[in-house]
Structure 1
Amino acid sequence: MSRIQIAATERSPQVDFDFATGRLCLRGESYPEDAAAFFGPLLQALRGHLGASEPEPITFEVALAYFNSSSAKALMNLFMPLEDAAAEGRPVTIRWLYAAGDETIAEAGEDFAADFDHARFELVAEGHS
């Protein structure tokens, strides 16, 4: 599967889904006008990768400074196939990165983490640089 790289915009995050290395990353802010149109192809590619590849480890880094409710739903849609793959024995790590002191994003990560039983969910505070 090819790599998906999308530059960040004012309303959508930077995307770097490198399926060959198992490293997927979303970074920036996410409030696209049409979350389904933005995230749909990513979800399709992820499902395709999970169905077609060997069960190699996947790390999904999410570093969003802000996201709206439709983006939250889209994130959950991305997380669920990863949780399913982890339940089937694939090593899956979701790293939820947030700025140190950003309680809103930290709590959102905790809320997402509660939905996982098989994938490893890490909350990672990033220091201010």
Structure 2
Amino acid sequence: MKDLKIVSTQSTPLIETDSHRGVVYMEGDSYPENSFEFYSELVAWVTSYLKDNERPMTVELALLYLNTSSIKVMMDIFDELEEHHQKGRDITVNWRYDVDNERVAELAEEFKEDCSFAFNIIGQE
């Protein structure tokens, strides 16, 4: 399985995947012109990873800002993670945020409400 390494820009986050460890890492701001197009490779990677093996998956997030369409894409990804978790897959999300950015913490809490898998919201100074 080919891993992704998408370099961050002013309006898009860094995205890296590691299929051997089952990790997706995202860091930065997310307000691309077309979120669905920008995230299409990541969505395909997650779908393929979940379909092709039974190994755990960990999503490491350090997202600072998400526009509405980016939030929708993340909801779709979390829905797919939840579906696989309900079938017994070990799924963990670790969302790190700056303690001075309450808005991101609130957004992460909203996502967490809809998830039964391990969803850790980690404030950092």
Q: Give TM-score, length-normalised by structure 1.
A: 0.93
Any residues of structure 2 matched to 1:7-86 within 5 Å, and which? Answer: 7-53=7-53, 55-86=54-85
| Displacement of 1:100 | 1.2
The aligned amino acid for 2:80 is: P
Q: CA RMSD in A?
A: 0.9
Cα distance in 2 for residues equivalent to 1:126 and 1:56 = 29
Deviations 1:63-106 (A, max 9, x none): 11111011000111111111111111111001111101211000
SS in 2 for 1:11: coil
Identical residues among aligned pairs (%): 32
Q: Which segments of 5 or more consecutive residues in structure 2 lack a partner in the other structure? A: none
Cα distance in 2 for residues equivalent to 1:35 and 1:14 = 14
The aligned amino acid for 1:105 is: V
SS in 2 for 1:110: helix
The aligned amino acid for 1:36 is: F
- Count of aligned residue pairs for this structure pair: 125
Q: Which contiguous aligned blocks of 4+ residues in structure 1 show a shift greater than 6 angstroms?
A: none
Q: Give TM-score, length-normalised by structure 2.
A: 0.96
Give 2:119's aligned residue: 121
Cα distance in 1 for residues equivalent to 2:41 and 2:109 = 26
Give 2:89's aligned residue: 90
